[in-house]
Amino acid sequence: MLLDKLLVGCEAKGVRAVICFTKADLAGDKDRRILEVYSKTPYPVVTMAPDDDGALAELQGYMKDHTTFLAGPSGVGKSTLTNRLCRGKGMETGDLSEKLGRGKHTTRHVELLALEEGGYLLDTPGFSSLQLEDGIEADFLESLFPEFTLGQCRFNSCTHRAEPDCAVKAQLEAGTIAPSRYDHYVELYDELKRKEAIW
């Protein structure tokens, strides 16, 4: 859900997202299932193990001449990745703290770093929760899931939940939309509708 909220926020702001799975050498079955979910989206997906120069070059290709920020939970390897992208310019790294459940050298500030290939990189603090920003409307949410086929449902006002002849539900049944992405859409839709009712 954290990643899907972040992707929705990027879509709402017109920010191009690239999904990077770090520490691929430690991946288990659950991680591979998550990777499969995002392979069904239009987002580029990069999987990276330590010292994987090919994956690093692929990521650098997306970042060249752009201002890029790394976002994700604490301890997933953002600072380690920053060091590789910026040729070791001093972001401190370490293992997760058992007591705190976050990186021992957690980034607590935002730093703008120049990339040798052109462009800039923002290394940002990790986070464990994320709220959708105000201004995202429930009835607009469908457009922030780019793999959803829109405009082909029987009803123009289709919410892609219980309506008959829904193109998005047909995609779900055909397996072209991952069930977790659809479930997160429904959960976020309900959350936004509740907020709108309060307003």
Are 165 and 106 part of one and the same domain?
A: no
- Please check whether residue 26 lies inside any domain of the structure: yes
Amino acid, res. 183 = D
Are 18 and 112 part of one and the same domain?
A: yes
Cα 115 from Cα 61, distance rounded (Å): 12
Are 71 and 159 part of one and the same domain?
A: no
- Please check whether residue 175 lies inside any domain of the structure: yes
Q: How many domains does the chain have?
A: 2
Give the burial string for 8-44 (b: 16+ CB within 10 Å, else e): bbbbbeeeebebbbbbbeeeeeeeeebeebbeebebe
- Please check whether residue 129 lies inside any domain of the structure: no
Are 57 and 118 part of one and the same domain?
A: yes
Are 53 and 117 part of one and the same domain?
A: yes
Cα 47 from Cα 56, distance rounded (Å): 9
How much is the average pLDDT of 58-82? 90
- Please check whether residue 81 lies inside any domain of the structure: yes
Are 107 and 149 part of one and the same domain?
A: no
Are 107 and 161 part of one and the same domain?
A: no
Q: What is the CATH number of the domain that holds 181?
A: 1.10.40.50
DSSP state of 143: G
Tell me the percentage of the chain whose pLDDT exceeds 70: 88
Residue matched to tokens 């603090």 = 125
pLDDT of amino acid 77: 85
- Please check whether residue 131 lies inside any domain of the structure: no
Are 119 and 22 part of one and the same domain?
A: yes
Tokens of 102: 């976050």
User: 65, 98, 123: which is the final residue of a domain?
Assistant: 123
User: 64, 99, 123: which is the final residue of a domain?
Assistant: 123
For residue 129, the Cα-to-chain-centroid distance in whole angstroms is 13
Tokens of 87: 């040729």
Are 95 and 170 part of one and the same domain?
A: no
What are the pLDDT digits (tens) for 80-112? 898 899 876 655 544 544 555 554 545 556 778
Cα 129 from Cα 109, distance rounded (Å): 17
What are the pLDDT digits (tens) for 124-160? 777 777 888 888 999 999 999 999 999 999 999 999 9
Q: Going by C-beta distance under 8 Å and a sequence separation of 6 or more, which residues neighbour residue 116? A: 86, 87
What are the pLDDT digits (tens) for 21-40? 988 888 889 888 999 999 99
User: 60, 89, 123: which is the final residue of a domain?
Assistant: 123
Q: What is the CATH number of the domain that holds 101?
A: 3.40.50.300
Name the residue range of residue 15's domain.
2-123
Are 96 and 153 part of one and the same domain?
A: no
Write out the DSSP string of 19-40: EEE--GGG--HHHHHHHHHHTT
- Please check whether residue 80 lies inside any domain of the structure: yes
How much is the average pLDDT of 161-186? 96
pLDDT of amino acid 107: 52
pLDDT of amino acid 89: 60
What are the pLDDT digits (tens) for 33-60? 999 999 999 999 999 988 899 999 999 9
